[in-house]
Amino acid sequence: MTKVAGKDPARVNRLVWRTVQKIPSGSVCTYGQVADLAGLGKAARRVGRALRELPVDSDVPWHRVLRAGGNVAFPPDSDAWQRQVDRLSAEGVDVIRGKVDLDRFGWKQSLDALLWYPDA
């Protein structure tokens, strides 16, 4: 069982969305990093589920979350893939063949900073 087991799904979604909201424009984060920063342990798939459950009119920057290794999670020929690439490109993030250089564009944020300086 993961740390997510037994938690209210709506509460988990809010934790994920709040964490993703903190990723600054021009930066990206992996599903696993979001799970860790949201206090969900290694529940990267749960992060994906929370992002799929975003309301249509949400302003949560879902496009800043990538697969491990910096890859866009959608199939390359899909509308969602193009939407994510376009949004990242508009923020100055280079996407080359569906991949982002995490060393260059990865969000360097720690759990301590999120807890102690949440508005920074």
Domains of the chain: total: 1
Q: What is the pLDDT of residues 19-53, one digit of tens each?
A: 999 999 999 999 999 999 999 999 999 999 999 99
Calpha distance 118→113 (Å, rounded): 7
Calpha distance 63→83 (Å, rounded): 8
Q: What is the pLDDT of residues 56-81, one digit of tens each?
A: 999 999 999 999 999 999 999 899 99
3-state secondary structure of 87: helix
3-state secondary structure of 65: strand
> Residue 57 maps to which CATH number?
1.10.10.10
3-state secondary structure of 6: coil
Q: What is the pTM of this model?
A: 0.85
Q: How far does the chain reach from its first CA to its final CA, in angstroms? A: 33
Q: Is residue 22 part of a domain?
A: yes
Q: Is residue 13 part of a domain?
A: yes
Q: Which domain holds residue 24?
A: 9-116
Of the pLDDT bands very low, low, confident and very high (cuts 50, 70, 90), residue 2 is very low
Q: Is residue 2 part of a domain?
A: no
